[in-house]
Amino acid sequence: MTTGLTRLDQQSADRPRRLLIATGGSAHSEIALRTGLGLAQQMAAPHGASGPVQVTLLSVARTRAAQATAEQILARAAEDWRPAGLMLRQEVRQGNPVDEILAALAAEPVDLLILGERSGHRLSTKLRGSVVERIVGRAPCSVLIVRESIATFARVLVCDSGVDAPGVVDTLRDRGLLALLAAEARVTVLHVMSQISAGPGVSGQPLRAGAQSLMEQEAREGQILTRDLAILTAAGLHTTAKIRHGLVVDEVIAESREGRYDLVVIGAHRTANWRGKLLDNLARKLLTGIARSVLLVKS
């Protein structure tokens, strides 16, 4: 393993936000690299209000012979990107990409892992699980999966079930990840009303209600939406609340297509009860079904 540290700006007294961008030189990982560095620069800018940002550029070489190429990829990226406010670190590991990326995450705390993935998968890849899916399932931090080249996330869909605390929006705020979104981005907060999320014994009236009605009635789902909108509005973002009715996976995927969003934000929670296992399964299905870039938020 080889490492190199380039000091790009004077370190603030505050703890820097730590981003790890994994790249292997492929077209989709190059897109993730450019997107990730652009987002890091945005997070470090004054409007991002996220403080100093430390970025680790990680490349995994499967063989010793490939290590020199990996080092060249990172050196070129470090030379091309010298944005103010960033501390840029290069790291090359040798071995299996899944194992080595997870090892890098275990070696030091990371706030966000950024990976690239092609927008479509072959059926065989879906059946055995992609490299990204295997990493995401075991990563201890939030993960941004970049699937298309885009300068900034200006149209964002946030899916918040409100099942567990802290919620998705709370975690975005507390981890400084709201700074990933463009200044004055348009954010839609989506809650899907389904019988399984409502629980047994819930009447049909709330399941058919719209977002405004639920918020005015101060229903549980309405309270979640009201709180989420308040947090996002306080961050200078333009917000809309939306309710869809039906199966969670189907409705989230449909909304992500119809709304032409730049980014879809979903949550994942590690709990031992049946509801937590179902959420993990939902997150896996959403990662497979959504064609847009996805931010998986882990609380």
* 72-105 pLDDT, tens digit each: 888 888 877 765 567 889 999 999 999 999 999 9
Handedness of CA 174, 179, 185, 187 (dihedral sign): negative
Sheet holding 238-245, edge to edge: 2-7, 86-94, 53-61, 17-22, 112-116, 142-146, 293-298, 263-268, 153-159, 181-193, 238-245
Of 204 and 33, the one with more pLDDT: 33
Predicted pLDDT of residue 53:
87
pLDDT band for position 286 (cuts 50, 70, 90): very high
pLDDT band for position 270 (cuts 50, 70, 90): low
CATH number of 153-268+279-291: 3.40.50.620
Predicted pLDDT of residue 122:
44
> Considering the chain, what is the average pLDDT of its residues?
82
Predicted pLDDT of residue 283:
87
Residue 255 has pLDDT above 50, yes or no: yes
Predicted pLDDT of residue 271:
52
Provide the percentage of residues in the chain whose pLDDT is more than 90: 45
pLDDT band for position 49 (cuts 50, 70, 90): low
Predicted pLDDT of residue 24:
80
* Residue that has been written with the tokens 């275990």 in this structure: 106
151-196 pLDDT tens trace: 899 999 999 887 767 899 999 999 889 999 998 899 999 999 875 4
Winning range, highest mean pLDDT, from 66-75, 93-102, 213-222: 93-102
Provide the percentage of residues in the chain whose pLDDT is more than 70: 79
Winning range, highest mean pLDDT, from 125-134, 159-168, 243-252, 275-284: 243-252
Residue 18 has pLDDT above 90, yes or no: yes
Task: Please give the Cα distance from 153 to 206 (Å, whole number).
Answer: 32
Predicted pLDDT of residue 84:
56
What is the helix, strand, coil percentage profile of the chain, to 5?
Answer: 45, 25, 30
pLDDT band for position 257 (cuts 50, 70, 90): very high
Q: Look up the CATH superfamily of 2-146.
A: HUPs (3.40.50.620)
Residue 241 has pLDDT above 50, yes or no: yes
pLDDT band for position 228 (cuts 50, 70, 90): very high
| pLDDT mean over 203-212 | 63
pLDDT band for position 120 (cuts 50, 70, 90): low
Which residues belong to CATH 3.40.50.620 in the chain?
2-146, 153-268+279-291
Q: Which of 136-140, 153-157, 196-200 has the lowest mean pLDDT?
A: 196-200
For residue 166, which of 224, 251, 234 has the smallest C-alpha distance? 224
Instruction: Return the H-helix or E-strand segment holding 187.
Output: strand 181-193
Which residues touch 129 (CB under 8 Å, ≥6 apart)?
none
